[in-house]
Chains A and B, each alone.
Chain A
Amino acid sequence: MIPAGVIEPGGDLATLLYIVSFSLFIFGIRRGTHPTTARQGNLIAAAGMAIAVVTTLLLDGIGNWVLILLGLVVGTVVGTVASLKVQMTQMPQMVALYNGVGGGAVALIAWSEFRHAPAGIELELLIPILLSAIIGSISFWGSNIAFAKLQDLIPTKPIALPGQHFINGLLLLALLAASVVLCVNNNDPSEGIFIGILIGAAVLGNLVVLPIGGADMPVVIALLNAFTGLAAAAAGFSLDNVALIVAGTLVGSSGTILTLEMAKAMNRSVANIVFAGFGGAPAGGAAAGEQRPYTSIGPQDAAIKMAYADSVVIVPGYGLAVAQAQHAVKEMADALEKRGVDVSYAIHPVAGRMPGHMNVLLAEADVPYEKLREMEEINPEMPRTDVAVVIGANDVTNPAAKNDPNSPIAGMPIIEVHEAKQVIVIKRSMSPGFAGIDNDLFYLENTDMLFADAKQAASEIAAEIEKL
């Protein structure tokens, strides 16, 4: 019934089809780098994947159909349902989760290959198997921790053991030593040691990601994404599969670039994120516990300030996203524009939780693309802005990043709202943001605090503006 076994594994036809498939990946990624062609690019890459999967299913030697179908169906259903149901705000953790299962798949495949390793397996097969097991397992567990942190299942604050780096270093050495032992005894490699390696890598994945604060999580996810790509490439070496080698390597290198760009947007080095994490140093600037005066206002005052301004810049942050306030904010902006106020949105490179995340959320609320201004573009205009409205953003507006060299976020690029004539901060409480530090902005003379849920505040302000 199923025309299985019509393509010879490793034969010219299989290789040609794989070449078509990875060409579509490259083309798809390329198209994915331009706003107008990105969606098409994604479809092209998906088509490449379809070709690769069908080709493999038709290979001679593919069997165990019941289980194959079971796996394919379960995976398709879970992936489809999860993707259609996930809220746009939860996108970063969704990507983390998909990355994790990919890494898990690599580790499991490596295990299965190891069990079938012939006595005296060549090192050119055994080494890639070990690499994919180690990297895959790290990626699986690291991504799960990243997911749990973003989903608030575990505290987003850094969790670190004393001597953490020492322990991690020892663990890594132990993994390498165990791998060497397996390579030396390649006549009869012990499965016990192999399982030990899988577990050790799992522990390492946990230990490396746990101490990293939530603010750095996007960079970690990007890095783990690149890792999973490399693990897939290693699996390609051991399985002699050119599609895996090329696709995995593409993801590994493009993922590395994305990681570096994201880290650059936060003015952090990747090494610094992986090996340090916020919270190690005591918060510079304002000491914790110190009470400083601030001004608190209600929606009516906020509405008056905005309605009689010439220009209003809205600075959205993650708080806007969790409150699902994008539609209410759009209403507020519409009410202001009706009165002739010039409204624009200042988007920090990592607003939301990932580069570009905020743009997606605002696009969902039909905010015109031209209204979204990048940080570099809007900062020079800040001194001429009448009112800057910060909604659910915190660290990315903290002037300490510019003014206080001792601050943990010193040097991070910020949206310079403190330069605006007036600032309104809509926030639920005075609690600090992801970086866990106090924000000097809240205590400035021209700053007013409006304590409320972002969505509720925006609709109330919109209603008040209409009344004026």
Chain B
Amino acid sequence: MQKVILVGNPNTGKTTLFNTLTHSSEHAGNWHGVTVDVKSKLFTFEKQQFELFDLPGIYSLDDYSTEEKVAVDFIDANPDSVFVCILDANNLARNLFLALQLKEKTDNLVLAVNMAKEVKSFDENALQKAVGIRVVGIDARSGRSVKRLKQAIFEISQNRELNVEENFQNQKIKSIKTIQNFKSKKYEYEENFDITNFEGKCKATFEKVDNILKDAGYKTERPLGASVLDRIFLHKFWGFVCFAMVMAVVFFITFGSLGSFLSDKVGECFGFLSSRVMEWLEKIIHNQFLLDFIQKGVLQGILTILGFMPQIILLFMCLNFLEDVGYLSRVAYLFDPYFKKLGLTGRSVFSLIMGFGCTTTAAITTRNLDSKTLRERTALYLPFFSCSAKLPIYALICSAFFVRYKALIVFALYMTGVLLMMLVALIANKSSKEENKEIFMLEMPKIRVPSARKVIKDAISSAKDFFVRVGGILLASSIVIYLLYNFNFKLQYTGGNGNESIIGTIAKWLSPVFTPLGFGMQGAVIALISGLVAKEMVVSSLAIVNGVETGLLATSLISPASPVHFSTLSALSFLLFVLIYTPCVSACASIKKEVGRKVMIKSILLQCGLAYLVSLAFYNTVNSALNANWGFFTLCVILIALFVICVVKYLKKGKISFQKVPCNACKNACAQKENAYGDDNLSGAGHQGCKTACK
């Protein structure tokens, strides 16, 4: 089967073309680095089948970041394929650089100029003549001229086969040469790389590009990426106001009246279906244990997540829309100076915002980042960005305790996560010996209004992926939790007496640990343990423990008669713990795969420790104030104040020191003794000397 490889600079529309050619719905966005791995699908043209490969974007045939290495290695391994180099018609001055590099390596090349209609001066024939490669002007989004591109691919593949038949030996030699060419460019990676020479080569190639464009009569009217809206989006004050407003709108749509309404309706609908299924099953199955198992172990787990799907779809829709518009690159620019202080760069924003969707996917996107340190830091802070799997927990508890302020509480929780991340990052950056020398240079994509069809299609596709990904885990975990909850260590059926069950016994051991946090109930601990597998499991575990359907779960959480019930304060404490504690198993595995075991362990310990401390401080301070236990309240406030003072002192001076500031005479004496130390360096041997002089 003929292989066809889509190659091009980042954000030129490779995945969009891939989707159009293969009628698939892979995720594509208006910023660089959306594709991080090789994807393939089949398409047929003129009764011939082609295998199409979509690669991550590359700037040249010399790899730089991990996802570019994936692309370059794949090209190396398949030199005889048909290459489709995708160029953005608005950006030929830069995109042609890669095309010319590819031209040197292979003859099986066609240039697909995307968004060709947007540039008046673009002339397909003139460019083809000037560059000496087959050129097809297309529009990947609408599918315009894609048939012509297929024709070009078909013809190139036919010619290639003909040549092979006519002169097999020559072709073989040529192929070997091609492979050697591909391999030889790996030069210089490790040893004696001559940057001046490379710069000279680049200069020569860019001069060639300029001449080609001049011959083709190509001109752009204004710089690509410059937009009138950028005056607001990138403004140092209004930019942040705009960002806050955008985020508020996202949360209002997702968790406000629209999200809640849809979620309620879907929940009702599936609740009705579930009861009909159970009625039907009761007629054919007469074993009570089996019926209970199907209802509580299987159906309840699936229905829990289905009920929250509308909110998850709305969240994905909002994130995809922002991505397609090109707003995320503006956010990266806006936040870069502040992220530098946290030891990150603006480019980390992409991965971190993706963390609102799914931590597992977000961890994979850290491949786009240039340095290992940056990748590790970004992956470490990802779990602070509350993923969509935690959404059902927030929605459930808020609909039980904070009906009127649901959107506000969820917004506050998300912001708490972000603020905690910033605090931790600030402290970590201050204590790090490594200086943040990352340079930041990011291409600004053109602002585009995506079609509603694409946004909805992408959101449904993301939600479907989400459901498929977690569905299996959820079902399996739900069954496991049900069995652990209904059987004791002697493997005897406890008849729904969870306290005697396996998980109940483990939870009993652990519950004293959580009592100071306000939710020492066995059931709550069971839910938290199951949340380690997948966060979606927390809600279904609570439903299993309370023995109610998802629709009635919120009410049962208020009732003191239920095995798991909260007060408003303990509910908030529980929410805080869920917000911060360690992400699910798949997210941990993803972090381990991308940045290593050490960072994963660090992440788990950090998240669990911090979750415990924050919930502990919050619950005990507010509880003692509410119960007028002023002595304990004062103690809590003093401890928190001490912690804050330590942090501020540390951030200001770089170290915590409770030693007295020496008097001026002492300082002078010390300064004479050792020129090296002054006010900022009074610890250690120097300070000891200083104190002696003071005496």
**A and B associate:** no
